[in-house]
């Protein structure tokens, strides 16, 4: 996911409904003594996983409900985006796109987020109205229903069926976060690079002060057996008090424990879907090679369990 210098996706004010609750981080100040001292107590480790993807895998909701989960949120993208807040403006992480509603549409029961090469002028980001020229546009939405793993709902299961965007410089993401970042935490279920269609990453962030992330080297580097951009796959994250468990196409592929994961318990986040263009997520990016692409989302569901 993000480099050490990043503070992931920002946010737009969201309406809270609650189950318990982005990826557009702000720049992180890494110089504080608090960050240095507290980070030493965390086990630093990135994880590399080989996973078996199943093209157009169906989601077995009945099996999830049979495990004792209750469905709290669902959007099958049949009609509109009324369950989401639409981001308008630039973002962070040195990303190149301007987000606008025109880059998102409902097609045959799917949300399609498309990155286009076009020149527009707009606000630098939601906190800076300074006009800026962008050479790309794309889309980002943030759920109005918040989620939280807490004593009331100790497990939150976040699910989406997605066909990732292909294309050099494309950065599709499915994640959750809360404000002020990262005091409410951030959970990255998918972050992918369009030029690496067999790979994606998981991660999380947390800090006790705004813009000061304490989490390092907790990335899950997932390599799938099949191309993730040619068909739909089911991505899940189970958020509980002491773990973050990732599933791909119905199979557990990675579990994060320890570190600051217990600090996320009781925090409130909102789910985000977006397609960024370029930015700090890429190393040695050649902007002249950036193409365009589309991210397809069949549905988003949230389940909770006691």
Cα–Cα distance for residue pair 161/301, rounded to 1 Å: 9
pTM metric for this prediction = 0.88
Structural tokens at position 56: 């157009």
The string of pLDDT tens digits covering residues 148-205 is 999 999 999 999 999 999 999 999 999 999 999 999 999 999 999 999 999 999 999 9
User: Three-state SS across the chain?
Assistant: CCCCCCCCCCCCCCCCCCCCCCCCCCCCCCCCHHHHHHHCCCCCCCEEEEECCCCCCCCCHHHHHHCCCEEEEEECCCCCCCCEEECCECCCCCCCEEECHHHEEEECCEEEEEEEEEEEEEEEECCEEEEEEEEEEECEEEEEEEECCCCCCCEEEEEEEEECCCCCCEEEEEEEECCCCCCCCEEEEEECCCCCCCEEEEEEECCCECCECCCCCCCEEEEECCCCCCCCEEEEEEECCCEEEEEECCEEEEEEECCCHHHHCCCCEEEEEEEEECCCCCCCCCHHHCCCEEEEEEEEEEEEEC
Residues of 212-236 as b/e, b for ≥16 C-beta within 10 angstroms? bbbbbebbbbbebebebbeebbbbb
pLDDT of residue 266: 98
**Residue 15 Cα distances to 7, 82, 301, angstroms:** 23, 12, 17
Q: What is the pLDDT, as a whole number, of residue 265?
A: 98
- Using the predicted structure, report yes or no on whether residue 113 has a pLDDT greater than 60: yes
Buried b (16+ CB within 10 A) or exposed e, 99-117: bbeebbeeeeebbbbbbbe
In whole numbers, what is the pLDDT of the chain averaged over residues?
88
| Range in 41-45, 224-228, 250-254, 257-261 the model is least confident about | 41-45
pLDDT category of residue 44 using cuts at 50, 70 and 90: low
pLDDT band at 5 (very low <50, low <70, confident <90, very high): very low
Dist CA 52 CA 201 (whole Å): 15
């Amino acid at each position: 996911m993000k480099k050490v210098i990043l503070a992931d996706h920002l946010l737009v004010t969201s309406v809270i409904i609650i189950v318990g609750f982005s990826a557009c981080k702000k720049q992180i100040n890494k110089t504080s003594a608090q960050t240095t001292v507290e980070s030493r107590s965390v086990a630093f480790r990135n994880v590399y996983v080989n996973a078996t993807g199943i093209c157009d895998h169906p989601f077995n909701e009945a099996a999830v409900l049979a495990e004792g989960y209750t469905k709290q949120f669902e959007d099958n993208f049949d009609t509109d985006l009324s369950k989401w807040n639409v981001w308008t403006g630039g973002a962070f992480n040195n990303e190149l796109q301007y987000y606008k509603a025109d880059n998102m549409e409902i097609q045959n029961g799917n949300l399609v987020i498309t990155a286009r090469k076009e020149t527009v002028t707009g606000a630098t980001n939601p906190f800076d109205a300074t006009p800026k020229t962008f050479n790309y546009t794309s889309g980002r939405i943030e759920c109005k229903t918040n989620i939280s793993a807490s004593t009331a709902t100790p497990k939150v299961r976040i699910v989406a069926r997605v066909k990732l965007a292909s294309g050099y410089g494309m950065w599709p993401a499915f994640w959750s976060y809360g404000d002020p970042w990262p005091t409410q935490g951030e959970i990255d279920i998918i972050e992918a690079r369009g030029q690496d269609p067999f790979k994606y990453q998981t991660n999380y962030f947390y800090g006790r002060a705004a813009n000061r992330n304490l989490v390092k080297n907790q990335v899950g580097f997932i390599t799938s057996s099949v191309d993730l951009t040619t068909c739909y796959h089911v991505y899940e994250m189970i958020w509980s008090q002491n773990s973050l468990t990732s599933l791909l196409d119905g199979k557990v592929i990675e579990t994060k424990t320890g570190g600051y994961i217990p600090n996320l318990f009781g925090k409130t986040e909102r789910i985000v879907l977006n397609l960024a263009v370029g930015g700090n997520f890429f190393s040695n990016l050649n902007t002249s090679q950036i193409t365009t692409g589309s991210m397809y989302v069949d549905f988003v569901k949230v389940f909770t369990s006691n």
